[in-house]
Amino acid sequence: MQISIYILAAIAMTIAKGRQVHRLLRSRSYNWKSAGFIFLAWSAMTLPFIVSACDGVACEWSPKLGWWADLLRQVSPFDRLDTGTTVTVVLITYMVLTIYVLGHCLGWMLYGTKRLLRFAV
C-alpha cells in the first residue's frame, strides 16, 4: 500500500512538472539550458546501467546501481554512511531526475499537441 502512494505521488509530480513546462513553453520563458542539464544528468545516470557489471551491491539493491554508490562513498560527507543509505541517496536522486525528465517530455508533448491542433483548425 505504501509503495503505491509513492508511485501516485511521482505521477502527480510528473504531471505538475509537465504542466509547468507547457506553461513556460507557451509564455516563451522556457530555460533550455536547465533542460539540457537535466537530460545530461539523467543520461549520465541511466546509460551506465546498461553496460555496468553486476556486483554485490548492485544486484542486491537495484539494477546495476552499485558503482554509483561506490563513487558517492568517496565524497567526504557520504564516506561515513553505510552502503544501504548511500544506495538510497542514489535511488532518490535518480527518481527525482526521472520525474523531471518525464515532466519535461510531457510538457513538450502537450505543447506540440496544442500547436498541431491549432494548425489543424
pLDDT in tens, the chain (121 residues): 677 898 899 999 999 999 999 999 999 999 999 999 999 999 888 877 666 566 555 555 455 666 777 778 888 887 888 878 888 888 888 899 999 999 999 999 999 999 888 888 7
Containing structural domain, residue 38 = 2-120
Nearest alpha-carbon partner for 90 in 117, 63, 121, 119: 63
| Res 19: pLDDT | 96
pTM recorded for the entire structure: 0.78
* Separation of alpha carbons 19 and 101, rounded Å: 13
As given in the structure block, the three cell numbers for residue 108 are 513538450
* Separation of alpha carbons 64 and 57, rounded Å: 8
State how many domains the chain has.
1
| Res 61: pLDDT | 46
